[in-house]
Amino acid sequence: MSDAIGIYLHIPFCRQKCRYCDFPSYAGMEAKQEAYVTALTEEIKRYGKELDGQEVHSVFLGGGTPTVLPLPLLERLMAAVFDCFSVSADAEITTEANPGTLDREKVRGLRNMGFHRISMGVQAWQNRHLQKLGRIHTIEEFLENYHALREAGFSNLNVDLMFALPEQTMADWQETLEKITELEPEHISAYSLILEEGTPFYEEWQKGRLPMVSEELDREMYRWAVEFLAKKGYEQYEISNFAKAGYQSRHNRIYWQAEEYLGLGLGAHSYWRGVRFHNTYDLQAYLAKAGKDAVAERETVTPQDALEEFMFLGLRLTEGISFRRFRERFGKEMKGVYGEQIKRLKTEGLLEETERGIRLSGRGIDVSNLVFQEFLLD
Ligand code: SF4
């Protein structure tokens, strides 16, 4: 495992709640923002002492919508990050930003406080889809924010997109990808919409009022995106992530390579010193802790868990998993542990083997969750 670590900071505020979203985020809680930043800053200080100079090679501010915070609060947070952690000179420093929460002053401020990568949630090109999703912005507002970021010198932008939206046609999805690639962001994420229990979308769907696209169209949209983005010079490096050469996200790769990261803030998840843990999801409880231990659940990763996670996370990367990395990580051969599974999945055409290692085939990507289950050892 690499010695450097990634830091994730969660900002649980949004201007309004999207209709499909089950992330820990709240709308209408502006009055709590200052207290939250104070608690998070205290947590940063505490972990800064514990890391004791360990190199941080990725900082990711996610949410929620971090950019709903006023500039002075964002500045306080980032000042604490740089004061308390040994952030390496070439670290990837990203914030998520939703269109409609940026203006020229905020964009300049983000640049001045050390961010050089911005991840924008756009989701779709058509305003009727954005409205239905409950997004706060129009595509025109996205464009305004996007150009403001470019003008301020940001040369590493990600755009998050979603497909398989209710009533979305193939032509809608193609238009979204065509228009977005004309802007040439360095990185694109494309996930299909998942209905999460407890969201307004889920309730509408249960009542038969949300016309979802078919499974076949969902897959067709995915395959079209993979081919189209390749033609436009985006390398698919993970099932749902595409990047121009040199712009794969370090933050994302930390998860898929089962490397260590610390998640700070409400409900944030960590994998650190062999333990997976997450903070409380209760905003009041988190604020009451004021930076003291807010962990709600801890789970020691057993050697078996570590093997399984390494496989199903690593297989999300299109490069797959190398035999060498497996050996370095576990001190044994991948085929000594998973020889039978690899043979079977290859015969079924779901896995490919090269001299370097193994990776999912095109068909394997379509049924990736089933493939991952094969690597559970019990
Ligand atoms: S902006 Fe993101 S985090 Fe906030 S409600 Fe929408 S999907 Fe959820």
pLDDT tens track for 29-44: 999 999 999 999 999 9
Q: Are 148 and 106 in contact (CB under 8 A)?
A: no
Tell me which residue has its CA closest to atom 3 in ligand 1: 64
Determine whether the shortest distance from the Cβ of 15 to ligand 1 is under 6 A.
no
d(C-alpha 225, C-alpha 242), whole Å: 10
Rounded to two decimals, the pTM is 0.95
Mean pLDDT computed over every residue of the chain: 95
HSE, CB side, 13 Å, CA atoms: give it for residue 352: 14
* Dist. CA 16 → ligand 1 center (Å): 8
- Burial bucket for residue 271 (CB in 10 Å: 0-12, 13-18, 19+): buried
Domains, the chain, ordered by start: 5-256 (3.20.20.70), 309-378 (1.10.10.920)
* Dist. CA 269 → ligand 1 center (Å): 18
pLDDT > 90 in the chain, percent: 97
Instruction: Give yes or no for residue 24 having a pLDDT over 80.
Output: yes
Confidence band for 291, pLDDT divided at 50, 70 and 90? confident
pLDDT at 198: 94
Q: Tokens 């990736």: give the residue.
A: 368
pLDDT at 378: 77
What six digits make up the tokens of 325?
A: 């990395």
pLDDT tens track for 300-351: 999 999 999 999 999 999 999 999 999 999 999 999 999 999 999 999 999 9
* Dist. CA 96 → ligand 1 center (Å): 10
Confidence band for 89, pLDDT divided at 50, 70 and 90? very high
The whole-number average pLDDT for the span 100-105 is 94
What six digits make up the tokens of 284?
A: 């009041």
Confidence band for 2, pLDDT divided at 50, 70 and 90? low
pLDDT at 88: 96
- Which ligand 1 atom is the nearest neighbour of the CA of 17? 5
pLDDT at 215: 93
Amino acid 34 reads E
Q: Tokens 């390494």: give the residue.
A: 310
- Give 271-274 contacts, CB < 8 A, sequence gap 24+: 271/301, 272/5, 274/300, 274/301, 274/306
Peptide bond into 64 cis (omega under 30): yes
Phi, psi of 353 (to 5 degrees): -120, 135
* Dist. CA 17 → ligand 1 center (Å): 6
- Which ligand 1 atom is the nearest neighbour of the CA of 98? 1
Rg of the chain over CA atoms, in angstroms?
21
* Dist. CA 65 → ligand 1 center (Å): 7
d(C-alpha 106, C-alpha 68), whole Å: 10
d(C-alpha 162, C-alpha 121), whole Å: 9
Q: Are 151 and 111 in contact (CB under 8 A)?
A: no
Instruction: Give yes or no for residue 148 having a pLDDT over 80.
Output: yes
Q: Are 33 and 265 in contact (CB under 8 A)?
A: no
pLDDT tens track for 135-147: 999 999 999 999 9
Determine whether the shortest distance from the Cβ of 130 to ligand 1 is under 6 A.
no
pLDDT at 31: 96
Q: Are strands 86-97 and 55-63 parallel, antiparallel or unpaired?
A: parallel
Neighbours of 89 (CB within 10 A): 4
Using DSSP, state whether 31 is helix, strand or coil: helix
Confidence band for 180, pLDDT divided at 50, 70 and 90? very high
pLDDT tens track for 303-312: 999 999 999 9
Strand partners, 5: 56
pLDDT at 216: 95
User: Which ranges in the chain belong to alpha helices (H)?
Assistant: 33-51, 71-84, 104-112, 127-133, 139-151, 170-183, 200-206, 215-231, 250-256, 283-289, 303-314, 323-330, 334-347, 362-366, 368-373
Determine whether the shortest distance from the Cβ of 21 to ligand 1 is under 6 A.
yes
pLDDT tens track for 231-277: 999 999 999 999 999 999 999 999 999 999 999 999 999 999 999 99
Determine whether the shortest distance from the Cβ of 14 to ligand 1 is under 6 A.
yes
- Which ligand 1 atom is the nearest neighbour of the CA of 21? 8
Cα–Cα nearest to 99, from 136, 151, 130: 136
Amino acid 235 reads E
pLDDT at 200: 96
Ligand 1 pocket test, pick from 17, 26, 119, 136 with the greatest ligand atom count within 8 Å of Cβ, gives: 17
- Give, for 249, the enclosing helix (H) or strand (E): none
Determine whether the shortest distance from the Cβ of 121 to ligand 1 is under 6 A.
yes
